[in-house]
Every structure is written in structure tokens, then in C-alpha cells.
Chain A
Amino acid sequence: MSLTDTRATAAEPVALDAEDLRRLRLQRFDKIGKWLLPLAVLILTIIGWDRLVVWNDIPHYILPGPGLVWTTLVTDWAMLFEALLVTLQITMMALAVAVIGGVGLAVLFTQSRLVEMSFYPYAVILQVTPIVAIAPLIFIYVDSRTAGLLMCAWLVAFFPVLSNTTLGLNSADHNLRDLFRIYGATRWQTLRYLRLPSALPYFLGGLRIAGGLALIGAVVAEYVAGTGGIGSGLAFRILEAGYRLNIPRMFAALLLIAVTGVVIFAGLSFLSHMLLRKWHESAIKRET
């Protein structure tokens, strides 16, 4: 490189130095690796699983290979999908009731110390008592199977919404609260314009947890309820397949449940991102 060339490059916008290049390389790696690495693990696991079954001649009623699970998923799709819809319906309804109940209780708690002091310990007790232990009782006293399932799923899902929203409602900026007082804001105005918006990020965090828990609650409740026939959810299909030693179907149903859980989580994360992207730290990309 001649002397003039060097001058020319020096006059250009500052070239990337070694550190910049390293950072860029790392960023590119992060971007691709985030998708590629889990995918590689998945593929390797499936291949390993398949080889394990084939090389050891494991019978399908002990461990079916991934191919068989997939075929079963396709052939049993009609029945499994119907069961999925049932489970999904219970999950969504439970989540909806958990949101209404959790947010409602949280607002009530923050509006009245009396109510909070009286009932908060019981909300905790409900939460820490394992649902599997309460569910049989619920099915004794509640006639409607759907109502029973819903109640179980709700019991599991509502607490994160309640505790997170309560935390959020109480974490409104102190100076802003003073400002609202100085301006003579009513209780309702403070709730509507200050506490609820402050609580939104916390609520959404609770909601993401509650989404997964609602599914778990629905599945556990189905195991306990155990009634078969038409209108049964995925959990019952797993139980039923287990009794019949139809292990491939168990795997297929399990796969569906796992995918459902992931989809619920991703959906709620997306919702959270959309609601917070304009102002909340959690949804903002660092600009450096």
C-alpha cells in the first residue's frame, strides 16, 4: 500500500478497529447461534433417539422411535386435535378467569388495607397447597366436569397474576404519587392514570407465568377427573394410551402439550412486547 493510499483511508470515516470487529463478530454469532444451536441440539437428539431405538432393537411398547411418534401423531391427529382443543379451551378460560380474579383482587387489596390483611394469607395458602391434593375434593363437590377443571386450572394460575399485579400497583413512583395528591386526584384517577399503568409490566410478567400454569392446572385436573369418552382432553388421552400400552400415542400427546405450552408462552411474550415496546425498559433494545 502506497503512502497516498494510507492518507486516503485516514480521511474516511474512522475504520472499525479490532475491538469493533470482535464485537460485530460476536453479535453475528449471537444472532445466528440463538436459533441454530438449539436446532442443532434438537436434530442431534432426534437422531440419537432414533439410533438408540434401532441399534438396541427396543420394542415400540417400551420406547418408540421418533418416526413412529410422528406417524402416530399424523394418524391419530383427528382424535388428538379434538382433545387438544378441549384442553386448550379449559386453559384459556382458566387464564381469563385468573386475569380477572387476580387483577380484581390485586386492585381490591391495594384499595383497602383491611381486605388485604384479611385475605392475603388465604391467597397464599391456596397457592401453596398442591392442586393434586385439592382437585379430588373439587370433583366431589362440583357437578360439572368443565367447571371443576376450570376451578383447578384457575387455582393454579391466578396467584402469579395476583402477586405480580399487587406488587406493580404498589410500585408506582413515590414522587408521582405525591404529585397526584397535590393535584387533588381522586382514588379512581390515581388507580386509572398512575397505579394501573405502573402495574402493567409486572402484570404481564405474571401473565406469562400464569399462561404456563393454567395449562399445567388443566392437565393435572384432567388426570384427577379421569372421565373418558367424548370431550376428553389431552391428559386423559395420555392416561388412556398408557393403559393400552400405546406408548407412541403417549409421546404424540405429550408433544402436543409441550408445543401448546411453548405457543402460549410465545404468544403472551409477544403481547407483552407489543404493549410495552414504546416505553418500558424491558422491551427496548439498547442503542449502542
Chain B
Amino acid sequence: MSRPERPPLGQRPPVLEMIGVDKTFNGDVVALNAMSLTVNQGDFISLLGPSGCGKSTALRLIAGLSLPSRGKIAWAGGQGENDLGVVFQEPTLMPWATVSENVWLPFRLRGQPYAAVKDDVLEALKLVGLEKFQNAYPRELSGGMKMRVSIARAMVTKPRLILMDEPFAALDEITRFRLNNDLLKLKEAIGCTVIFVTHSVFESVFLSDRIVVMAARPGRVIREVIVPAPYPRDEEFRTSADYAALCREASAALHEAMGEHA
């Protein structure tokens, strides 16, 4: 497989734009410096960088959980009710609610009764392979299964953008690989747009078509690596020479990011 030139990323309509976004805490700690990023429909973007590079801060800003100190974050066509789905590093499920009740949550908070959205909830659970566990409680599930429920909850409303904050960091590698594969299948199935925070080079190359490499102190974007390999990607891609070359490239960018302040 030869590496094609840049894929037609530019043809995708934008979803969200970050323009010169700064975030400082207490006026002097610069968490994020002049970050600009255009997220297009169907993009799978990884934010890759060492700890303290502001990748989680960027996610919180996009989620609206904190406000930029300078610059702006603009949603194409304005903000709406169904902009976001979020997956945290922890599964973050409500332990008192069953799996299906957890997945129902985004609808429930919009005032939609379970009966009205039951099909969507079951569909989402089916996509993550947990339709048989709809009446289970989170404590009865393994770590990987809990994460699947969390992913089902994030995508059940088919939001414009899904934010994932190192969702697989706490899982063992076997589970992590499987969830990586499944996440890509899911992405193909529902065509979602994802921003995925990670500190794993391998994960970012396998999953994304754009890797935004960030550096710390101050947190900033230093490079964007394009991963031109077509989807669907599978285990074959994970062992290909292309993959290895891309990992080297991303890794070099990451070293550059870490070297600058060493």
C-alpha cells in the first residue's frame, strides 16, 4: 500500500472552530496558548501530547465547562441542543441506574421519556455489543464493558461532536486494542466526528485521520500529523509498514514537543 497524498480532508464542512484560544489560570499559569483548530464533519482528531500540554483543558473549553481567557470557540451554525457527547477517562456511569437507564440519560435530561427513545437506546447498546446487558447494573460489568456503556451514552443522541478524554487509558492493553477496533467500526457505522485525547502515539495513529501534537509549558499546538490511511482500519493496518512509519513520524513530533522544554 503506497501512502496517498493528503486525503480530501478539506472538503468536509466545518463543525467547530477554535480561533486563537488562550486559557490562563489565576492570571499567570498558561494552560493553553493561542490554540487554533478547525474540526470538520467526520474528522477523527487526536490531541496527542505529554501531560500538562493543555489537551484536557482544550477539551473542557470545547465542552463549555470553562471559558477561554482569550480567543473564541465557534460552532458552525451556532450552538444547539445536540452538539456534544462526552466520554471521560473513567466510565462515569450512575451506579444506581441500569445500563439502559445510563444510556437514556442524555435524552432524559431533554425531557424525553424512555418509551420514546427506547429504540435509540437499544440500538446504541447493540452497536457497542451490550444489548444483552441492558438491565445490568454497572458494578456487574467489567472495566471494558463499562467503557462501552459510556461510549453508547455519548453517541446515543448522534451529537455533532464526541469528545473523548483518554477513555482507554485505564484499561489493559488487550481490552484497549479491542475497544480501539470497535470504536472505529462504530465511527464508520454512525459517521460521527470525534476529538480524542490520548498520550499514546500508537493509539492516535491507529484511530485518527488528524493528529494534533501538543507541547507543554505553555500548552500549545506544535504540529499536525495527517494519517492518510483509509478507513476501515483493522489489525492488518496495525502491523503494516505504513503504520510503523506514521508512528515514527508522530513519535518524532512528540519528542520535539517534549524536547523543547527539557
Asked if A184 and B81 sit within 8 Å, CB to CB, the answer is yes
Given known contacts A175-B90, A278-B137, A284-B139, A183 and B95 CB-to-CB distance under 8 angstroms: no
- A115 CB to closest chain B CB, in angstroms? 26
Chain B neighbourhood of A194, CB < 8 A: 94
Q: Render B139-159 as a binary contact track against A, CB cut-off 8 A, 1 for contact.
A: 100000000000000000000
Would B65 and A182 count as touching, CB distance under 8 A? yes
- Smallest CB separation, B101 vs chain A (Å): 10
CA distance A284 to B88 in the complex (A): 26
Residues of chain B within 8 A (CB-CB) of A183 are: 84, 105-106, 109-110
**Does residue B96 face the partner (Cβ distance < 8 Å to A)?**
yes
Q: Indicate which residue in B65, B92, B106 contacts A176 across the interface (CB closer than 8 Å).
A: B92
Interface of B is mostly: loop
- Does chain B have a CB within 8 A of A280? yes
List which A192-229 residues lie within 8 A (CB) of chain B: 193-194, 197, 200
In the assembled complex, the CB of A197 is this many whole angstroms from the nearest CB of chain B, namely 5
Smallest Cβ-Cβ distance to A190: which chain B residue: B109
Q: What's the minimum C-beta distance from A179 to chain B, rounded to whole angstroms?
A: 6
Q: How far is the CB of B107 from chain A (nearest CB, A)?
A: 9
In the complex, A111→B97 CA distance in Å?
A: 23
Interface residue B183 (Cβ < 8 Å from any Cβ of A):
no
Q: Judge if A189 is at the interface, Cβ distance under 8 Å.
A: yes
Measured between alpha carbons, how far is A197 from B108 in the docked complex, in Å?
Answer: 16
Contact of A182 with B139 in the complex, beta carbons under 8 Å = no
Q: A176 to B105, alpha carbons, bound, how many Å?
A: 11
Give the nearest-CB partner of B88 in chain A. Answer: A175
**Which of chain B's residues has its CB closest to A276's CB?**
B96
- The verdict on A178 contacting chain B, using a C-beta distance below 8 Å, is yes
Report yes or no: B109 in contact with A200, Cβ–Cβ below 8 A.
no
Interface residues as binary, A163-201 with B (CB distance below 8 Å gives 1, 0 otherwise):
000000000010110111111110001000110010010
Chain A positions within 8 Å of B96 at CB level: 197, 200, 278-280
Interface string of B56-77 (1 = CB under 8 A from A): 0000000111000000000000
Distance of A196 Cα from B81 Cα, bound (Å): 25
Complex interface: chain A residues within 8 A of B90 (CB): 175
* Contact bitstring B21-48, A, C-beta under 8 A = 1, else 0: 0000000000000000000000000000
Instruction: Say whether B86 faces chain A, with CB atoms less than 8 Å apart.
Output: yes
Q: Among B88, B95, B106, B110, point to the contact of A279 (Cβ < 8 A).
A: B95
Instruction: Determine the chain B residues whose CB is within 8 A of the CB of A176 once the complex forms.
Output: 92, 94
> Closest CB-CB distance, B141 to chain A, in whole Å?
12
Pair A182/B137 contact, Cβ less than 8 Å = no
A255–B180 Cα distance when bound, in Å, is: 65
Q: Are A182 and B86 also in contact (CB < 8 A) when A189-B109, A193-B108, A279-B137 are?
A: yes
Question: B residues within 8 A CB of A181?
Answer: 64-65
In whole angstroms, how far apart are the Cα atoms of A252 and B154 in the complex? 63
Known interface pairs A175-B88, A279-B137, A284-B139; A184-B94 also in contact (CB < 8 Å): no
When distances are taken between beta carbons in the complex, the residues of chain A under 8 Å from B84 are 182-183
Are B109 and A184 in contact (CB-based, < 8 A)? yes
| A200 to B96 Cα, complex, angstroms | 10
Separation in Å of the B187 CB from the closest CB of chain A?
20
- B137 and A180 form a contact (CB under 8 A): no
Closest-CB distance, B75 to chain A (whole angstroms) = 14
- In the complex, are the beta carbons of B65 and A280 less than 8 A apart? no
Most buried by B among A180, A182, A189, A200: A182
The chain A residues found within 8 Å of chain B, CB to CB, are 173, 175-176, 178-185, 189, 193-194, 197, 200, 278-281, 284
Besides A175-B90, A178-B86, 10 new A-B residue pairs in contact (Cβ under 8 A), listed by A number: A179-B105, A181-B64, A182-B64, A183-B105, A184-B109, A185-B109, A194-B94, A197-B94, A279-B138, A279-B139
Interchain Cβ contacts under 8 Å between A and B, 8 examples = A178-B63, A178-B88, A179-B105, A182-B84, A193-B109, A279-B95, A279-B137, A280-B95
Pick the 7 closest A-B CB pairs, nearest first. Answer: A175-B92, A183-B109, A197-B96, A175-B88, A185-B109, A279-B95, A279-B96
